[in-house]
Structure formats: structure tokens, C-alpha cells
Amino acid sequence: MANFLNNVLFIFQRLNWLSVLDILLVTLIFFAVLYSLRDTQAMVLLRGVIFLIVALVLLTTLVELPAFSWLVQNSLPALLLSIPVIFAPEIRRALERLGRAGTFTLATNTKQPSSVDIQKVIHSIVEASARLSARQHGALIVIQRMDSLEQYIETGVQMRAEVTPELLLQIFYPDTPLHDGAVIIAAGRIVAAACVMPLSASGVLNKTPERQMGLRHRAALGISEVSDAVSVVVSEQSGSVSISNLGRMIRRIDPERLENILAAFFRPDTTTPQRVWLNRFFPYLFTRKDK
């Protein structure tokens, strides 16, 4: 025990501020990688890779196997080169998030609706969602925040209309020309309808008890993975209302809870630029968890 304590004290005596900075940088890199892979199918693959590496290290160190050790040592470089190919979607998503995090100063200069207009828009979305849920009419409403959705707006029908419950009900009425696709709301107005959204590739919905999720739910989660937009989706089968943001989905919420969540997302932002940057690079790091 005394030798162990002496060894620990010896290690701490050798530490300086550069050593601490070195450890913090390595820790930050591992944290960023694991956080980016959280709740994705790649996390299962990463566990398998770690288990394989640990098993190979134990076999080559504890047991004398010359031929097997030679094979492992020669195949390890190929395994390291294959990691970027295996995790290409996750690496791309992390780089996109980093790129969006560097553009927050430009986005904050855009004209934003007043608090009264925001409350009116939120009330219209909540009322429309409740009525669509009661009628079991499927709907997907995407609300733009800081990231531009222009490339998705161009895929739909331009509207530039005021947000009202009646208009949303009319858009998502079954068999109408605009009921398929998503409605995009930006700057307090409906800018386009029947927009095509990217489908989620994270596999989060596959972990839910109801795995027969439709394209609306996958599109709602998909747009939240590639941007900071908030999406509200109404199920055509069950009429349940869900909300998605930053790769997370909260399902089966009532109108009051939906209004509270939307109000929390679109309240005036008084956070510092440093905190905004960290929150955009590490989703939900500063966002309050909904319980």
C-alpha cells in the first residue's frame, strides 16, 4: 500500500500545466467522438471494435502465440485505415456540426419576429397539432431556428403566408396537393409546404417499442440531425404528437406540454456567444432535459 501511494505521489509531482493541458485535450477528443456517436448504430459497432481490440491485446500479451501475434501486428494498420470508412457518416455529421457552430454570429444578425409574434405562431402550431391529432391527419411542421433551411425550402411550394391553424389544417388535409411533405416555418411565417426532408440514418427510432415508424417521423428526426430546426410531427395512424430537435424525439405529448417545449426553444436567447458555440457543437450540453 505504501509503494502504491508513493507511486501515485511520484506521478502527481511530475505533473505540470502542460501535462494537464495534454490530458484535457485527449479527454476532450474522446468525449467529442463518443458524444457524436451517442444513440447511433455506430455506437454498437464501436463497442464491437473495442471488444475485438481488447481481446486481441489480451491474447497477444498473456499467451505466447508468435504466428497469431505477427498476423495481428500486420493487420492492425489496415484496421486503423478502415475506421474512417466505417464511421464516415458520423465523421461527416460532426464536421457539419462544427461548421454550423462557427456561423452563429451571422445567424444572430437576421431579422427575428417579436415575442408577441412568436407566441402567436406557437399557439397556432399547438392548436393545429391538437386538431390534426383529433382527426388523425398526418402532419410534419418544421420550424427554422439559426441554421438556414433554404435548400429544403426550394424542394417545396413557396407560400410566404401567415401561420394560422386553419391554413395548417387545410395544408395537411388528406389527398390535397400539399399534404405530403413538410411545412417549413421561418421568421414567423409559412415559407413553403410539401418540402422534402432528409430521412434519419441514426437508428434511434428502431429502439422504440413501435418500430413501424413512418416516413414523417424519420423525416422529423432526420432534419433535426442535420440542423438545429425543431420539428413537430403528428402520426396518421395513432394521432400522437411528437417533437424532435438535435437528433432527439419526445413522443406522445399533450398540447400543453408541446406549447411549453416550443416556448422554451424560442424564448429570447440571452446566452453568451461562448455558450451558444458549445451548445451548437455538443447538442443538449446546456439544454434542459425534459422529464
Q: Are 248 and 257 in contact (CB under 8 A)?
A: no
Side chain identity at residue 227, one-letter code: S
Greater model confidence, 240 or 30: 240
Tell me, what's the pLDDT at 90?
A: 63
DSSP reduced 3-state for 192? strand
Compute the average pLDDT of residues 94-117: 56
Collect all residues with Cβ–Cβ distance below 8 Å to 179 and sequence separation of at least 6: 137, 138, 171, 172, 173, 194
Q: Which pairs count as long-range contacts for 265-271, CB under 8 Å and 24+ apart, including other chains? A: 265/143, 265/145, 265/230, 266/118, 266/122, 266/143, 266/145, 266/230, 268/115, 269/108
Secondary structure of residue 102 in the 3-state scheme: coil
Q: How confident is the model at residue 281 (pLDDT cuts 50, 70, 90)?
A: very low
User: Is a pLDDT exceeding 50 seen at residue 1?
Assistant: yes
Task: Please report the domains of the chain, with CATH numbers, ordered by start residue.
Answer: 2-105 (no CATH), 112-268+276-281 (3.40.1700.10)
Whether the predicted pLDDT of 283 surpasses 80: no
Q: Band of the pLDDT at 81, cuts 50, 70, 90?
A: confident
State the average pLDDT over residues 194-198.
93
Can you tell me the distance from the alpha carbon of 23 to that of 184, in angstroms, rounded to the nearest whole number?
44
Residue 127 pLDDT > 80? yes
Give the residue with greater pLDDT, 95 vs 195: 195
Give the 3-state secondary structure of residue 157. strand
Q: What's the confidence (pLDDT) of residue 123?
A: 94
Q: Can you tell me the distance from the alpha carbon of 124 to that of 108, in angstroms, rounded to the nearest whole number?
A: 25
Quick one: how far is CA 100 from the chain centroid? Answer: 13
pLDDT digits (tens, 9 = 90+) for 130-183: 999 999 999 999 999 888 888 899 999 999 899 999 999 999 999 898 988 999
pTM of this prediction?
Answer: 0.63
Residue identified by cell 486481441 is 56
- 99: confidence class by pLDDT, cuts 50, 70, 90: low
pLDDT digits (tens, 9 = 90+) for 248-260: 889 899 999 999 9
